[in-house]
Amino acid sequence: MGRLAIISDLHVDINHFTEKELQQLFTILMEQEVTHLHLAGDTANRLKTCQAVLDFFNHKGLATSFIFGNHELADVTGEAMMAHYPNVHFLNERFIPLNEKKVLLGFNGWYDYSYSTTNTEKESLRLKNLYWYDRFIQREFSDPEVNRLGLQRLEKILVELEEKGLEVVLATHFVPKREFIVYQTGKYQRWNQLNAFLGSEALGELIDRFANVQQVVFGHTHRKFEEQQIGNTLYSCRPLGYFYEWQLTRDFIRENQLMETFQMAKIRSVLKANQAAFDQYKEQHLKNEFQSAMTLIDY
Ligand SMILES: [Fe+2]
Ligand SMILES: [Fe+2]
């Protein structure tokens, strides 16, 4: 018996986290009696930072595993390293037992443009190179091909687990179901093209074929959703995201009346102008933000 916590999109470097914030997170995990922590990608932009976070929790005696999100991948060279990074806690395309009936399976995942409103692969690629962080990632195949090869490998593992009669908790970074893609209307409609880089509908279809996949936890969206049961599987998506996207940040701005109307584009400069007050507010409320960004699974 134990309790698994899955957290995605910690972004410790972009969020300027130090040991102090990690200690706050650790305290919450201990209060929640968590026995295994899994970080489902976008832990940091730099591998070194990502490993330091892993070490922080593992050295404290909390077993912590991880997979890569797109942000780590910009700091990794070669498909083999992306899929099989040599760290004992790296769980991509690997599983560990939670108990005698259930395993935690990790899968980095990728995207195939299936959620895009753009018709051609060429146009999606052009937009990616123009707007998306992932232009810094060197992949050896096209995005749809990288995705297809990953799903092929995942299918083999799922078949193996099904044959063994094992239940599966799958932790992945990218979006497996269209239910978690937001399509804008009106003047923001053109941004729907960037949904291309959020995930793959084929991943969800693959999961649908395996009744033993009980729960899928993912992130990457930087938007939290209600949990949804689709078929036999419960889907959970509550990434932490960047500090300027947090609920506590919106509350800070509202409570201090720092903006007449809420404008995402101006948040960072408003926070900078009120840095000391924001830091204090953050210290008081980060606990709630962390709590809203973790998925707890008893096993
Ligand atoms: Fe992220
Ligand atoms: Fe991501």
Going from the Cα of 165 to the center of ligand 2, the distance in angstroms, rounded, reads 32
pLDDT band of residue 261 (cuts 50, 70, 90) is confident
DSSP H helices, the chain, are 19-31, 47-59, 70-73, 79-83, 121-131, 143-163, 201-208, 247-255, 267-273, 275-292
Token reading at 140: 């050896």
Going from the Cα of 231 to the center of ligand 2, the distance in angstroms, rounded, reads 25
The helix (H) or strand (E) run that includes residue 172 is strand 167-172
Going from the Cα of 222 to the center of ligand 1, the distance in angstroms, rounded, reads 6
Going from the Cα of 166 to the center of ligand 1, the distance in angstroms, rounded, reads 30
Going from the Cα of 288 to the center of ligand 2, the distance in angstroms, rounded, reads 22
Residue ranges of domains in the chain: 3-243
Report the distance separating Cα 248 and Cα 228, nearest Å. Answer: 25
What's the CA angle centered on 267, arms 254 and 130, to 5 degrees?
145
* pLDDT value of residue 264: 85
Token reading at 43: 């832990």
Q: Are 91 and 65 in contact (CB under 8 A)?
A: yes
Report the distance separating Cα 46 and Cα 64, nearest Å. Answer: 18
Mean pLDDT of the chain: 96
Q: What does the pLDDT look like over 140-189, one tens digit per residue?
A: 999 999 999 999 999 999 999 999 999 999 999 999 999 999 999 998 89
SS3 133: helix
Ion ligand 1 neighbours, Cβ < 5 Å: 9, 42
pLDDT band of residue 263 (cuts 50, 70, 90) is confident
DSSP for 239-287, written as a single string: ----GGGSHHHHHHHHHTT--SS--GGGHHHHHHHTHHHHHHHHHHHHH
Residue located via tokens 């693959």: 206
Which ligand does the CA of 132 lie closest to? 2
Residue 265, number of CB atoms within 10 A of its CB: 7
pTM, rounded to two decimals:
0.97
233-237 and 167-172 beta bridge pairing: unpaired
User: Which CATH class for the 3-243 domain?
Assistant: alpha beta
Going from the Cα of 74 to the center of ligand 1, the distance in angstroms, rounded, reads 13
**Residue 8 per-residue DSSP state:** -
Which ligand does the CA of 242 lie closest to? 1
Residue 165, number of CB atoms within 10 A of its CB: 8
Residue located via tokens 């018996």: 1
* pLDDT value of residue 14: 97
Q: What does the pLDDT look like over 77-114, one tens digit per residue?
A: 999 999 999 999 999 999 999 999 999 999 999 999 99
Over residues 68-79, mean pLDDT: 97
Which ligand does the CA of 239 lie closest to? 1
* pLDDT value of residue 46: 97
Going from the Cα of 70 to the center of ligand 2, the distance in angstroms, rounded, reads 5
Decide which of 54 and 117 is more confident: 54
Report the distance separating Cα 86 and Cα 88, nearest Å. Answer: 7
Q: What does the pLDDT look like over 32-53, one tens digit per residue?
A: 999 999 999 999 999 999 999 9
pLDDT band of residue 262 (cuts 50, 70, 90) is confident
Going from the Cα of 278 to the center of ligand 2, the distance in angstroms, rounded, reads 25
Going from the Cα of 252 to the center of ligand 2, the distance in angstroms, rounded, reads 25
